[in-house]
Amino acid sequence: MSMMLLFAPLAAILAVAGLVWLLQMGDSRIGDADDAARIAEEQIAGFESGPVLMSSDGEAALVEGTDGRIVILKRHGAHCAGRVLQKPLRVHRCSEEWRVETGDPRFGQVSLALSKQDRDKLLTMM
């Protein structure tokens, strides 16, 4: 009886964890540029997306709007959070990543691991 009381909760926890993994409920990465554009348009009212700079790890993205506004996206728990950035962008290079200052202390800095081509695009956005 006592062994059953010990293993029943453990089995229930493993079953829930397996279900979360199976349904991919814990994965909030930004899949691709189209996904980032869609998220930015959902997060910011009236925003129409244009070019997208994706972080290679899927953790963040910069989306430039057709009106010139720039939205930064980052993972935030099980969802993505977005903010409109003010120009000029405040960007710093830290080893292999670029850190973008958002100006919002609650949102914090966002790190982007960019390809060479996207690094050049970032410099033109600034």
Q: Is the peptide bond before 9 cis (omega within 30 degrees of 0)?
A: no
- The pLDDT score that the predictor gives to residue 17 is 79
pLDDT of 106 over the 80 cut: yes
Range 99-126 average pLDDT:
83
pTM of this structure: 0.74
pLDDT of 84 over the 80 cut: yes
pLDDT of 10 over the 80 cut: yes
- The pLDDT score that the predictor gives to residue 117 is 81
Q: What's the rounded Cα separation, in Å, for the pair 1 and 16?
A: 23
* Lowest mean pLDDT, pick from 8-12, 23-27, 65-69, 121-125: 23-27
Alpha carbon distances (Å) from 39 to 26, 84, 110, 121: 17, 13, 16, 20
Range 49-64 average pLDDT:
90
- The pLDDT score that the predictor gives to residue 26 is 59
